[in-house]
Amino acid sequence: MDKLIITGGIRLDGEIRISGAKNSALPILAATLLADGPVTVANLPHLHDITTMIELFGRMGIEPVIDEKLAVEIDPRTIKTLIAPYELVKTMRASILVLGPMVARFGEAEVALPGGCAIGSRPVDLHIRGLEAMGAKIDVEAGYIKAKAPEGGLRGAHFFFDTVSVTGTENIMMAAALANGRSVLQNAAREPEVVDLANFLIAMGAKIQGAGTDTITIDGVKRLGSAHYKVMPDRIETGTYLVAAAATGGRVKLKDTDPTILEAVLDKLREAGAEITSGDDWIELNMHGKRPKAVNLRTAPYPAFPTDMQAQFVSLNAIAEGTGAVIETVFENRFMHVYEMVRMGAQILVEGNTAVVTGAAQLKGAPVMATDLRASASLVIAALVAEGDTLIDRIYHIDRGYECIEEKLQQLGAKIRRVPG
Ligand code: EPU
């Protein structure tokens, strides 16, 4: 298993490019299954989760064609089997996103039921109930969700999400795009990735209104056609590099990103003392060598502060001036990084869903272990500010969501290297 070695204490300074959004690319790839012709998706990030999705397509008999710029052309008409096997689903929960498109387009699907994961129990009951509301018959048997559309295809439905779910909203929106009649999704997720997926579906010919609000209306169409689409920038990668620069007292300019999709994060960074400037597709953060000030925050669905940025802000608070309370309301077990940071000298108290972080004057390098994707990112940030060397184990987690992290951080002046293990 590869490890990262980071020698901390260097102020980040420089310019890098932000990659396409993982959490937008995954549903968009799944949505290509709805088309009745070839579809091209561009600006895909080069990440392990994207490779897993492409491997899943390969298992189903679809061979995506990848060009040198990592645009992928997919022709779903070559599909041979409608099964997403457990070996793949257990490595990537987002595989559940093929369920809605397969039932809508091909009338049936068998998708392994994802289990719990390092950040919580993460049930998929809403995905199942949404499809049932559209007339699908669903049985869970031997660890698989076996779904069948009714005679004549899925029917449009009114569906209320009793918890806001990002991939749940995406799955049902994709299914509704090819259903008979109108669907109305209430208490829908408003994340920018849901809007990006809706725009992709619209580019294929879907009729969707209200994406980005909590009520999405979809008028099903008979067929969805070819399209060429560019995935939006990754707001969590953007936020992660901004926090890394802020924690080290440095400066960073991020290109090919979008300042309008992470306002809650930018606000918290300003509160921590960062100077932030931005243009249409760039953001620059400058701490002018200052130590950040601790901030209080509470995660919640978009447009509130994202759970996927919580761990990184725990790192920021860990070396900030003062004490900050971090409340996690989306997942029940998303504080695993805290215990690793404590090994580096962080002063953090966890009580229920709250971590109270008192900034230490200095963290110290130590061997630590990554437990999930965003936890790994937070340990990288802690390592960048710590005195001495930090060895981060299990960094396969980070390769799921951060494209070329060593190269990007090296470009900003960090001392980071990967050691095969
Ligand atoms: N939930 C249910 N029932 C469901 C679905 C969700 O109770 O059927 C609950 C979950 O257990 C959780 C809450 O609803 O407590 C929100 O979960 P959501 O369904 O929104 O999460 P997700 O769609 O599985 C996506 C991202 C996550 C991100 C969350 C929250 C993708 C592929 N994944 O997950 O990203 O944390 O939304 O914003 O879009 C990451 O990138 O590191 C990551 C974990």
330, 333, 374, 398: which to mutate for ligand 1, most atoms within 8 A of CB? 330
Once rounded to an integer, what is the mean pLDDT over residues 12-16? 98
- Please write down the long-range contacts of 330-335, taking CB distance under 8 Å and 24 or more positions apart: 330/299, 330/300, 330/301, 331/119, 331/120, 331/122, 331/307, 332/120, 332/121, 333/118, 333/119, 333/120, 334/119, 334/120, 334/307, 334/310, 334/372, 334/374, 334/375
Alpha helices (H) in 134-285, listed in sequence order? 166-177, 192-203, 235-247, 263-271
Atom of ligand 1 nearest to the CA of 129: 8
What pLDDT score was predicted for residue 1? 83
Q: Which residues are catalytic?
A: 117
Spacing, Cα 86 to ligand 1 middle (Å): 19
* Ligand 1 atom with the shortest distance to the CA of 332: 15
- CA 165 to centroid of ligand 1, rounded, Å: 6
Model pLDDT, residue 119: 80
Best residue among 19, 128, 132, 167 to mutate for probing ligand 1, ranked by most atoms within 8 Å of CB = 167
What does 201-236 look like in DSSP terms, one character per residue? HHHTT-EEE-BTBSEEEEE--S-B--EEEEPPB-HH
236 CA: nearest ligand 1 atom: 41
Q: What is the pLDDT of residue 120?
A: 78
Is 34 a residue whose pLDDT tops 80?
yes
Instruction: Give me the pLDDT at residue 333, please.
Output: 85
Question: How far is Cα 358 from Cα 412, in angstroms, rounded to an integer?
Answer: 27
Measured by CA distance, the residue closest to atom 6 of ligand 1 is 165
210 Cα: distance to centroid of ligand 1 (angstroms): 21
At residue 369, the pLDDT reads 94
Beta bridge partners of 282: 255, 279
pLDDT in tens, 131-142: 999 999 999 999
What pLDDT sits at residue 68? 77
Pocket of ligand 1 (CB under 6 A): 23, 26, 94, 120, 122-127, 163, 165-168, 307-308, 330-331, 373-374, 401
Give the whole-number percent of the chain exceeding pLDDT 90.
Answer: 94
Q: Which atom of ligand 1 is nearest to the CA of 308?
A: 36
Atom of ligand 1 nearest to the CA of 127: 8
Indicate the pLDDT class of residue 70, thresholds 50, 70 and 90.
confident
Residue 355 — left, alpha, or beta (φ > 0 → left; ψ -120 to 50 → alpha)? Answer: beta
Report pLDDT for 291: 97
Does an H or E element contain 132, and which?
helix 125-133
- The contacts of residue 407 (CB under 8 Å, 6+ apart) are none
CB neighbour list of residue 6: distance below 8 Å, 6 or more residues apart: 365, 380, 383, 384, 386, 389, 390, 392, 414, 415, 416
CA atoms 226, 232, 237, 241: torsion sign: positive
**Segments in 248-332 forming alpha helices (H):** 263-271, 310-318
- Please state, in angstroms and as integers, the Cα–Cα distance from residue 278 to each residue in 42, 268, 273, following that order: 24, 16, 16
Q: What is the pLDDT of residue 341?
A: 97
Q: How far is the CA of 330 from the centre of ligand 1 (A)?
A: 8
State which of 166, 298, 397 you would mutate to test the pocket of ligand 1, scoring each by most atoms of that ligand within 8 A of its C-beta: 166
Residue 309, pLDDT above cutoff 80? yes
Q: Distance, CA 385 to ligand 1 centroid (Å)?
A: 30
Q: What's the whole-model pTM score?
A: 0.98
Query: Comparing 7-11, 66-70, 203-207, 237-241, which segment has the lowest mean pLDDT?
Result: 66-70
- Asked whether the beta carbons of 2 and 391 are under 8 A apart, the reply is no
- Stretch 144-150: mean pLDDT: 97
**pLDDT at residue 116 is higher than 90:** no
- Give which of 375, 366, 368 is closest to 400, Cα–Cα: 375
Q: Ligand 1 centre and the CA of 383: distance in Å?
A: 27
Q: What is the pLDDT of residues 384-417, one digit of tens each?
A: 999 999 999 999 899 999 999 999 999 999 999 9
Output the CA torsion sign for 46, 47, 50, 52: positive
